[in-house]
Every structure is written in C-alpha cells, then in structure tokens.
Amino acid sequence: MSDVKDPRDALAVLNSTNDRLAKRMHWPLWRHLAGGLLLTLIVGSVALPRAISIVAFVVAMVMTILLVQDDKKRHGMFVSGYQRGRTVWIVGAIVALIVSALIVVMRFDEPVANPWFWVTLSIVFLGTSGLSSIWERVYRKDVREGRL
C-alpha cells in the first residue's frame, strides 16, 4: 500500500505510472512486420500444397513462440492484440482482412502460379503490419489516459 493521503497526489502517481507504462509499450518496426509476416504465412498456408502448407504453418507457429519470448525478454511482457478499449475496431479490421484473404486464396486452383495470390498475400502483409502499428498507437494512448 501507499502512504499517499491526498487523492490528488494519488492521481498524480497513477498518471505518472500510466505514462511510464505507455512509454514501455513501444515496439520497433521489425516487430510489426514480423507480425504481418506471421499472419501472411498462415493465410498463404491454407491455399498451398499440403507439404508446403505444413511447413509454412509450422514456421508461423515457431515465429509466434519466438516473438512472445522476445517480447517478454526485451520488454518484460507480451501484450496480445486482444485488449479491451479503443483497439477493438483495429482487431476487427485485422480479422476482416484475414477472413477476406482466406476466402480469396482458397478459390485459386493453382495459387503459386496465380499473380493474384501473391497480390493478396502482399495486401495481408502490408495491411496487418500497418494495422499493428496503428494498434500500438491507440493502445499506448489508452494506457496513458488510464482507459484500461
């Protein structure tokens, strides 16, 4: 417990703590790109031949484990994208993008030979990486403002 007796002092301490936590909630560009690559591998693995699909999916799962471990080592925590607050619309956009891409890539007979397969995967990569970066900014603002 704290020895703070004045509610204004307690609020100042809380605001300071929220600000320090929000500053810690910053990930480098490579981390957003890695998340985009991970989701792109999962989407791509659905349409690829079974052997390649298994390899792509396993690589995605290993990447997930490595990213969680790296986040915990580097930042002391792992923050999933599933948080309450104003980030919900961003998670919804990511889910909509992934589901749409899955529907598209599953329609290709020869996905590797079809340029639209690669365009779709590029959109998934760029879209999820960009949305991850936006998610971070919104989340940091929520933390700073004490909304969580």
- Distance separating alpha carbons of residues 140 and 76, to the nearest angstrom: 16
Query: Where residue 84 falls among pLDDT bands split at 50, 70, 90?
Result: confident
Q: Choose among 6, 25, 27: nearest CA to 17.
A: 25
User: What sign does the CA torsion over 141, 95, 98, 31 have?
Assistant: positive
Domains in the chain: boundaries: 26-144
Band of the pLDDT at 127, cuts 50, 70, 90?
very high
The pLDDT of residue 19 is 75
Cβ-based neighbour number of residue 15 at 10 Å: 13
Asked if 143 and 18 touch (Cβ cutoff 8 Å), the reply is yes
Beta carbons of 37 and 29 less than 8 angstroms apart: no
Angle, CA 62 vertex, CA 58 and CA 67 arms, to 5°: 145
What pLDDT score does 141 carry? 87
Residues 6+ apart with CB under 8 A from 123: 97, 101
70: enclosing H helix or E strand: helix 50-75
Q: Work out the mean pLDDT of the chain and round it to a whole number.
A: 88
Listed residue (71, 99, 91) closest to 139, CA to CA: 91
- The residue among 79 and 99 whose pLDDT is bigger is 99
